[in-house]
């Protein structure tokens, strides 16, 4: 996949140490993770292949892989769409995330992996989240989301359990889809910072019981806010499935990949 630069030469759009199918998967995942593609956005295989300058075969293979990972839904002979989630699916996803994070915590304590350096890294990331807090809201929600991703990834990487990390990364990517299409969940600036701080403090004190409680409380708090917003009518089923999700101030609506009029 190549594009012309200002001098007329070509440069690759994607990394080259992967198969073409893997490159396309990574390309689409990056768009999902940074919010360029949100729940309900269409992906047209033919147009995407043309945009990237590749044949249709690896694009279809990539879409099948992402479908298997629960990131997109394929409609036979028509199109693919970034996956939508029912309320029950959203709750199940966060339930499993909680189980994985608590298991990772237990592994870290069993293997004596909770070091001062690890705690400092988490504290540093959460400190940056705290700097973005303005009352109950974030001054820059997109950056805050990226830092939240970094916090949880840093936490999981420290357990050094490859399969658990892989499963968690897949679930967290799905959670990112929900996150970018659910702007009306309500302000979580102080909550996110405070709940993260409780996890960091438990690790600093080498207290696994408090750590488990802090992790559970953090993810339950997110689900509580979803349920509260739905009950108040500020968060509709259409928003959950990406059909009418409003975007935050100053954010452009994502362009659908391979969009057709």
Per-residue pLDDT tens digits for 120-137: 999 999 999 999 988 778
**Which range is most confident: 185-189, 204-208, 247-251?**
204-208
Q: What is the pLDDT of residue 215?
A: 97
Closest to 214 measured CA to CA, from 229, 226, 198, 200: 198
Model confidence at 113, pLDDT cuts 50, 70, 90, reads very high
Per-residue pLDDT tens digits for 10-20: 445 554 567 99
Domain boundaries along the sequence of the chain: 2-82, 87-240
Long-range contacts of 232-240 (CB under 8 A, 24+ apart): 234/184, 234/186, 235/182, 235/184, 235/185, 237/87, 239/181, 239/182, 239/183, 239/184, 240/39, 240/84, 240/85, 240/86, 240/87, 240/90, 240/178, 240/181, 240/182
34-57 in b/e burial notation, b at 16+ Cβ within 10 A? Answer: ebbbbbbbbbbbebbbeebebeee
Q: Residue 238: is its pLDDT beyond 80?
A: no
Which tokens belong to 232?
A: 């108040």
Domain 2-82 fold:
Arc Repressor Mutant, subunit A (1.10.10)
Query: How far apart are the C-alpha atoms of 2 and 14, rounded to whole Å?
Result: 8
* Residue pair 24/58 in contact by the 8 Å Cβ criterion: yes
Q: What is the pLDDT of residue 252?
A: 39
Model confidence at 75, pLDDT cuts 50, 70, 90, reads confident
Model confidence at 185, pLDDT cuts 50, 70, 90, reads low
This prediction has a pTM of 0.71
The alpha carbons of the chain give a radius of gyration, in whole angstroms, of 20
CA dihedral 105, 109, 112, 115 (to 10 degrees): 60
Model confidence at 59, pLDDT cuts 50, 70, 90, reads very high
Show the DSSP H helices in 132-255 as ranges: 141-157, 162-180, 189-204, 208-231, 237-240
**Mean pLDDT computed over every residue of the chain:** 81
Q: What is the pLDDT of residue 41?
A: 87
Give the CATH superfamily of 87-240.
Answer: GntR ligand-binding domain-like (1.20.120.530)
């Amino acid at each position: 996949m190549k594009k012309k630069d200002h001098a007329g030469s070509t440069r690759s759009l994607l990394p080259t140490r992967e198969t073409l199918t893997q490159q396309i998967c990574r390309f689409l995942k990056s768009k999902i993770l940074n919010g360029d593609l949100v729940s309900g956005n269409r992906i047209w295989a033919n147009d995407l292949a043309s945009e990237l300058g590749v044949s249709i075969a690896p694009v279809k293979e990539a879409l099948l892989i992402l479908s298997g990972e629960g990131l997109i839904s394929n409609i036979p002979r028509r199109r693919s769409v970034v996956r939508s989630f029912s309320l029950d699916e959203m709750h199940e996803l966060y339930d499993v995330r909680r189980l994985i994070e608590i298991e990772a915590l237990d592994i870290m304590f069993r293997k004596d992996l909770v070091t001062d350096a690890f705690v400092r890294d988490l504290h540093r990331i959460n400190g940056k989240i705290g700097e973005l807090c303005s009352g109950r809201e974030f001054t820059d929600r997109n950056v805050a989301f990226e830092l939240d991703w970094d916090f949880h990834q840093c936490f999981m990487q420290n357990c050094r359990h490859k399969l658990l990390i892989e499963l968690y990364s897949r679930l967290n990517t799905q959670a990112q889809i929900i996150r970018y299409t659910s702007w009306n969940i309500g302000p979580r600036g102080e909550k996110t910072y405070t709940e993260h701080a409780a996890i960091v403090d438990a690790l600093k004190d080498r207290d696994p019981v408090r750590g488990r409680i802090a992790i559970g409380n953090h993810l339950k708090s997110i689900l509580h806010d979803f349920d509260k917003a739905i009950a108040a009518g500020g968060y509709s089923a259409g928003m959950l499935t990406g059909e009418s999700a409003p975007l935050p101030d100053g954010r452009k609506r994502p362009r659908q990949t391979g969009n057709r009029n």
